[in-house]
Amino acid sequence: MSEEKLRIHTRVSQEMERKISAAMEKDNCQSRNEFLEKALKFYCDYLAAEDVSEFLPPIFVHAMRGTIQCSEDRIARLLFKLTVEIGMMMHVLAAGLEIDASQLDALRWQCVQEVKKTNGGISFKDTLKKHEDD
């Protein structure tokens, strides 16, 4: 006993009709109605889903999560190492230089502006050249 179906009239472009015909063969649909009903069900479920990963193959989701986790771990390790090196540099400079708080604040403001201007692309060579020009 089949469910009573409503007739809905739609209009699609010729290009969309060609896409539908090509996709029908891939999905082994017997009619356009069957194909459109499957497509509409999929799209409605997609919109209603809170987790879009339900529509991706599980192996793909697992692989992507693994790749992202490896990247996060690597970045975290590199940031830790970089922070240690910067900390060492700060201690060496603080021990060897006499700089007051106002000079330090001015330098911090200058560096923040430079990082914003260069989008973080600061090199020692460029900084050295800038100081040589002054």
User: Residue ranges of the alpha helices (H) in 10-123?
Assistant: 14-27, 32-48, 58-96, 101-118
- Mean pLDDT to the nearest integer, 94-120: 86
Range of the domain at 34: 14-55
Tell me, yes or no, whether 39 and 68 share the same domain. Answer: no
pLDDT in tens, 44-101: 887 877 776 666 777 888 888 999 999 999 999 999 999 999 888 888 888 888 888 8
Query: What is the structure's pLDDT at 76?
Result: 95
Q: H/E element holding 133?
A: helix 124-133
Q: How many domains does the chain have?
A: 3
Q: H/E element holding 127?
A: helix 124-133
Query: What is the structure's pLDDT at 1?
Result: 52
Q: Report yes or no on 9 lying in a domain.
A: no
Write the CB contacts of 35 (distance below 8 Å, at least 6 apart in sequence).
20, 23, 24, 27, 29
The rounded mean pLDDT for the chain is: 86
Q: Report yes or no on 123 lying in a domain.
A: yes
Could you tell me what percent of the chain has a pLDDT over 90? 20
